[in-house]
Amino acid sequence: MSSKENSLGNKIMRAASKIGGRLFRTNSGRAWGGKRYLVRGGELKGETVIRHPRPIHLLPTGHSDYAGFTVKKVTPEMVGSYLAVYTAVEVKTEGGKESPEQKAFLAMVTRHGGIAVSARGIEDYSDAVAGP
């Protein structure tokens, strides 16, 4: 993304927030994670290398630069039509706890009419999305 596109995207994200929606910057493709080291000597001096690298799979290629939700009021003309509902699922195993930031994100999604659930199993997810 060019700096002009990035600047425009930031303006669009602020505009979405002003009208009650939320957009988030997304990335597609693959990145690498692992233990990061700064090389102090030799041919690679000053370079950062990753030891024990592992791939991090991001969103699918072609995914939009920004994604999120826009709050829409359902009008009589819309009755019977289908609307996509933003859904956020935080997966936790037994004993796992949400961070304060994760709790705040799930609460924000719910507050704006989306579906948000901390799921310890398929049943938690199924129950959350089964509503009207």
Termini Cα distance of the chain? 39
User: Residues 111, 127, 89, CA angle at the centre, nearest 5°?
Assistant: 55
The number of folded domains in the chain is 1
* pTM more than 0.95: no
Domain membership flag for residue 131: yes
**Rounded-to-integer distance, Cα 103 and Cα 118, Å:** 9
In this structure, the chain runs to a length of 132
Q: Over 80: is that where the pLDDT of 1 sits?
A: no
Domain membership flag for residue 104: yes
Q: Over 90: is that where the pLDDT of 36 sits?
A: yes
Q: Which domain holds residue 99?
A: 85-132
Q: What is the pLDDT of residue 131?
A: 67
Domain membership flag for residue 66: no
Domain membership flag for residue 99: yes
* Pair of tokens at residue 37: 């080291």
User: How many CA atoms within 13 Å lie on the side-chain side of 33?
Assistant: 5
